[in-house]
Amino acid sequence: MKIMIETEQETVGVMESIRRLGSSLAGLLQARAELFAVELQEEKLRAIRLLVWVSAAIALGVAGLLVAIGGLALFIWEKAGYWGLAGLAAATIGTAAISLWIIQRRIVRGPAPFAETVAEFRKDADSLHPKK
Q: Is the dihedral of CA 106, 112, 114, 116 positive or negative?
A: negative
- pLDDT tens for 48-77 read 999 999 999 999 999 998 888 777 667 666
Is this prediction's pTM over 0.85? Answer: no
Taking every pair of C-alpha atoms in the chain, what is the biggest distance, in angstroms?
A: 114
Is residue 120 scored above 90 in pLDDT? no
Task: Name which of 38-42, 73-77, 97-101 the model is least confident about.
Answer: 73-77
| Winning range, highest mean pLDDT, from 39-43, 50-54, 78-82 | 50-54
- Cβ atoms 39, 117 nearer than 8 A: yes
Q: Distance from CA of residue 72 to its chain's centroid?
A: 42
Beta strand spans in 8-122 (E)? none
Confidence of residue 100 (pLDDT cuts 50, 70, 90): very high
Domain spans of the chain?
2-128
